Each structure stands twice: as structure tokens, then as C-alpha cells.
Amino acid sequence: MKLPIIAYGDPILRKKATAIEPDEYPNIKQLVEDMFETMYGARGVGLAAPQIGLSMRLFVIDATPFDDEEPELKDFKKAFINANILEEDGTEWAFNEGCLSIPDVREDVLRKPVIKISYYDENWKHHEETYKGMAARIIQHEYDHIEGKLFTDKLSPLRKRLIEKKLNDISKGVVDVDYKMKFPAAKKKR
Ligand code: NI
């Protein structure tokens, strides 16, 4: 089932999400499936639970669209539960990022190229893995979501000022988008 994506400006995107206990969420696999369906429907490569209105430490990633540049990303489709980034390493590199909660805004963001992360998959199997390149980049972006951060936070004061109106418009629903969204400041239709 496709779910509406929460737009920029909603306070849930600013909350640090809480860890999930296995028995607290027995239907986690269905939720993971719905999140993938929602993400594919919006042509994204990652989606975090706060973006569908759930403040929990869960995000999904499918980095396959980048497999022409990085062949090891073929079929890189994963769910990350209770993730913790343990280390970030290397010299920061820039990449033009976007976010399904912030349609039509793309900006260069600096991030470190290598991360070590601990997480559980949707079968509650624990993993501790190291990722680099685009995989690390997408994980860092989604991880920021469960920490209540957005990629626009990382921009220079000048870039922030230049996109301020656009961000305001997005929170009001004044944006062209072809997937279902929930806008926090949209005027109610009578
Ligand atoms: Ni995002």
C-alpha cells in the first residue's frame, strides 16, 4: 500500500525517532513493504519512517539506480531498523541531493565517504557493516531523517536563504508533485 509522504515543515521530520522493540511491532515486514512501494511510487532511492508519519528508527534504501556507476549496488535493497552510525571516515565529498519530503529542491551536500553502521534487518538479524560511496551517502541521508535532520540543514547560509521561499511554498502545498503528500501548512479546502 502506498502511503502519503510528509512534506517539509511538519514537526515529525524534526523529531529524533525512537527505537523499535520487536514485539512492539509484529507487522514490521508489511510496513517495510509499504515503505518500498511508497518510495518506488515516488522514484526515490531511500525513505525513512518519519516521512510517512511514524517517528521510529526505520528506513529503507534501494540504491540500484546507481549501479551503472557502482556495479556493487546492483540489487542493493535493504531495510535498516534501529540503525546506529558508529563511525564516519574520509574526506567529505559533494553530491547533489534531493528528498521526497522536499520536492523540486536539489542541492550539493558534503558528506564523508565511508561509514560503519550497526542495524537490524526486517528479520531482526543484527548487522555491523561498512559502506562507502553512494550506499554510504544514501544511508547518511536517511539516517539524518531518523535523527530529525534534513539535507537542507547542511547548506551554507546563502544557499539556505536562496531556497527559503521554495521551502515555505512546499510546506503550504504550493509545489508540483506527482505522488501523494501531506502538507503541514496547506489551507483546508472548504
Ligand atoms: Ni530525504
pTM (two decimals): 0.96
7-38: pLDDT as tens digits: 999 999 999 999 999 998 889 999 999 999 99
* C-alpha of residue 51 to centroid of ligand 1, in Å: 8
Q: Is a pLDDT exceeding 80 seen at residue 187?
A: no
Question: How confident is the model at residue 69, as a pLDDT?
Answer: 87
Ligand 1 centroid to Cα of residue 100, in Å, is 6
Report yes or no on 190 lying in a domain.
no
Domains identified in the chain, total number: 1
Look up 70 and say whether it is catalytic. no
187 within some domain:
no
The rounded Å distance from CA 97 to ligand 1 centre is 9
Please report whether residue 188 resides in a domain. no
The strand pair at 181-182 and 5-6 is best described as parallel
Interval between CA 99 and ligand 1 midpoint (Å)? 4
CATH code of residue 20: 3.90.45.10
38-82 pLDDT, tens digit per residue, is 999 999 999 999 999 999 999 999 999 998 888 888 889 999 999
Q: Is residue 44 part of a domain?
A: yes
Spatial strand order in the sheet of 58-62: 46-48, 58-62, 77-89, 114-120, 126-132
Answer yes or no: are the C-beta atoms of 58 and 81 closer than 8 Å. yes
Beta bridge partners of 108: 96
For residue 170, is it within any domain?
yes
Give the active site residue among 88, 142, 147, 164.
Answer: 142
